Amino acid sequence: MRLKTNIFLWVATATVVPLTVLVFGAALYSEAQFRRDVDHEEAANLDNLVSDIDRRLRIERGMIQELAKVTPLIDFLPVVVAADLGDTHPNLVERRLTLARFMDSFQVVVPSLRVIRVLDLDGNTLLRAGPDAELKEDLGARLHLERPVGGSYRQLLGQLPRHELSIIDLPYPRDDRFYSPMLDAVQPLLSDGRVVGYLVVSMWGSYTDQILDYTPRPRGGELLIAELNPDDPARDGRILYDDVSNAGFARLGGGPELVQDYFGGALWDAVQLAPYGAVEIPGQKERIYFVEYHPYPGHLISWVIANRVDMSTLIEPFQRIRIGILLFAAVALVASMIVARLGARQVSKPVAELSRMMKIYAHGDTDIRIRNHGPDEIRALQDSFRYLAATQASLEQERDRAREMVIQNAKLAGVGRLAAGIAHEINNPISNILSLAKLAERELPADADSVREDITGIRDEAIRTSRIVQGLLNFARQVPPQLTRFDIGQWLEESLALVRQIATKRGVRCQLENVADSQVHGDRNQLQQVLINLLVNAAQASEPGGTVRVRAENVGDRLLIEVRDAGPGLAEEIRDKIYDPFFTTKPVGEGTGLGLSISLGIVQAHGGILTLDNHPEGGAVARIDLPVKPTTEADSDS
């Protein structure tokens, strides 16, 4: 695949696609958040509308309760009592006229109270005031009663609370109930502490229409109110107010319309499940927000108040945003193609030159010169290649050193196994030689000095051989380490005390410069053997008057012990042989060449590292790097 295509894909994948997805996601999130905000706003608007309607209905109920206390009605109560007893009050005509005029005047002021009736205890109408009142023309005649449908309602009315306004549904002879959107408000009329009649008001709802008509319709919404009355199938689902059909509480006419027939029954089904919420009409881009409201205290009858919103008003701004995003993506892709072409020119030439130089270097020509040009990243790559070429030699040296260490470990392991076998085979003859030499020396006469010297030489050489054998056994690690936890400071002091006499004889001073406040988990004696071996080697390598310096410090979770001598340092020709068994630079008889080999094995058995190198300030320095294990682990192991 060409570089230009790669750059285009990189730019498109890294910028255009994520940015487009991000903006699309932001638009979707904003749309979802806007929809949620609209849902909250519509729900709040419906709640405010319910509050306004409820406030108006409470005012009208309060006016009905106060209406029962007006003087013309109080003066009319004796007429009601007389009518209930079957008599005619002497002031019937006068008081009927007075009350009728008052009611007419009251309805002019409060037209929402459509029909006002005064009933006796059986529910018969004694006086009716309203736009179609029948008794107005008979006000000056004798009393005619308008009787309710179904006979006496004395028992039903008698169950109403005496001092409260009740909402009930009373049938009347004319079929005007079809036109009434609300139930009747009934207020018992009291005289001398007892109920003598009832004031019944059929509310027309004209003020409710005004509230609904002047309520703002955000986003072009359309209001609808329907009655939910499970006890009256004729009224259950009846539309009371509708913007589409222009129906209203005071504008009802024609046949009844039911909410079950609206919106495919979606609103009806939703209100059966929840008292408020939102529902989308299947197959139409409309969303209906609704809330259920109980206008009559103490009744199961409720109104569902809904606002229908066209979804296109909600999603149209975001559709324009999505179109803009697509246009942006198209422009960005074209720009990416242009950038890819320019970028390929800037990158391909220096990359091709760098590739050529790498091939030259691979064929062994390490004298390379690369001209710095191109973008910063290519320049960094060129610098990295120069650094790679410059450090290749040192890396090869490190690799050779690591290989030598692997070979050395393998050599030590093989020699260790061989040494263990040889040591076991030699140990018994040496013991026999020592025993026989001791017996022979006992049998010598007192004047056999020359023979005694020969036997003494045999015994010394046997003892020397036994020491070599013991060294071989230690080198082969036949003795398992006894792990304990010990303090570094005290251990260093004891080790220095053991070698100070040897150092003093050579005119060398041992100095402890720094001691870490730490503890080590290991074999105290074996590690002391390593340290003593390094101290003796340092004392023997130092010039008279020199100082062997010992340091111990914590580096992270490791303990680093340094032993630095004051000698000439390590010669290059012996650096690769210092750990070989039986290799020594000491005179014959002063060393076996196993000290460093045994020390290396002990340190490695403890998970540490033993190194010997020249110090920059002169002399050689031996370093023991040991892990410091937690105290709890050391305790458990010990």
Note the pLDDT tens digit of each residue in 253-286. Answer: 555 688 998 888 899 999 999 999 999 887 777 8
335 vs 563, residue with greater confidence: 563
Average pLDDT over residues 57-85: 90
Using alpha carbons, select from 181, 170, 175 the residue that is nearest to residue 303: 181
- Residue in this structure with the two tokens 């009655």, named with its chain if needed: 227
275-279, 366-370, 510-514, range with the lowest pLDDT: 366-370
CATH code reported for the domain at 481-637: 3.30.565.10
Residue 547's DSSP bridge partners are 509
Query: CB count, 10 Å around CB of 493?
Result: 12
> Which residues fall within 8 angstroms of residue 401, CB to CB, at 6 or more apart?
none
485 vs 375, residue with greater confidence: 485
Average pLDDT over residues 322-326: 77
Give yes or no for residue 333 having a pLDDT over 90: no
CATH fit for domain 389-479, picks 1.25.40, 1.10.287, 1.10.238, 1.10.3470: 1.10.287
CA distances from 68 to 96, 110, 139, 437 (A): 15, 15, 21, 146
Give yes or no for residue 24 having a pLDDT over 80: no
At residue 634, the pLDDT reads 37
> Which residues fall within 8 angstroms of residue 81, CB to CB, at 6 or more apart?
191, 196, 197
Return d(Cα 140, Cα 575) in angstroms, integer: 143
Confidence of residue 512 (pLDDT cuts 50, 70, 90): confident
- State the DSSP string of 17-42: HHHHHHHHHHHHHHHHHHHHHHHHHH
E strands, 179-332, in order: 184-191, 194-203, 222-228, 239-242, 276-280, 286-293, 302-310
AA letter at 146? E
* Most confident by average pLDDT, 17-31, 295-309, 436-450: 295-309
For residue 324, the SS3 value is helix
> Which residues fall within 8 angstroms of residue 285, CB to CB, at 6 or more apart?
310, 311, 312
191-205, 278-292, 406-420, range with the lowest pLDDT: 406-420
Give yes or no for residue 487 having a pLDDT over 80: yes
Average pLDDT over residues 529-542: 84
Confidence of residue 458 (pLDDT cuts 50, 70, 90): confident
AA letter at 614? N
At residue 633, the pLDDT reads 41
pTM of the model: 0.51
At residue 445, the pLDDT reads 80
Return d(Cα 436, Cα 478) in angstroms, integer: 28
Return d(Cα 585, Cα 577) in angstroms, integer: 10
At residue 632, the pLDDT reads 43
Percentages helix, strand, coil for the chain (3-state, rounded to 5) are: 55, 20, 30
Phi, psi of 192 (to 5 degrees): 55, 35
Average pLDDT over residues 232-249: 87
- Would you say the CATH fold of 216-310 matches that of 68-206? yes
At residue 288, the pLDDT reads 92
Alpha helices in 110-174 (DSSP H): 154-158
Average pLDDT over residues 92-114: 86
Confidence of residue 137 (pLDDT cuts 50, 70, 90): very low
Give yes or no for residue 6 having a pLDDT over 70: no
Return d(Cα 48, Cα 271) in angstroms, integer: 19
Confidence of residue 592 (pLDDT cuts 50, 70, 90): low
Share of the chain above pLDDT 90, in %: 14
Give the chain's mean pLDDT: 78
CATH code reported for the domain at 216-310: 3.30.450
Return d(Cα 270, Cα 236) in angstroms, integer: 15
Return d(Cα 594, Cα 581) in angstroms, integer: 5
At residue 50, the pLDDT reads 94
Give yes or no for residue 631 having a pLDDT over 60: no
> Which residues fall within 8 angstroms of residue 150, CB to CB, at 6 or more apart?
171
pLDDT in tens, 82-100: 888 888 888 888 888 898 8
At residue 638, the pLDDT reads 40
Confidence of residue 176 (pLDDT cuts 50, 70, 90): very low
The total number of residues shown for the chain amounts to: 638
Distance from chain centroid for Cα 329: 31
286 touches 308 (CB < 8 A): yes
77-86, 94-103, 302-311, 581-590, range with the lowest pLDDT: 581-590
Give yes or no for residue 69 having a pLDDT over 80: yes
CATH fit for domain 68-206, picks 3.20.20.10, 3.30.450.20, 2.60.40.1840, 1.10.760.10: 3.30.450.20
638 touches 632 (CB < 8 A): no
Residue-range domain boundaries for the chain: 3-59+315-350, 68-206, 216-310, 389-479, 481-637
Using alpha carbons, select from 525, 515, 576 the residue that is nearest to residue 550: 515
537 touches 569 (CB < 8 A): no
Average pLDDT over residues 236-251: 87
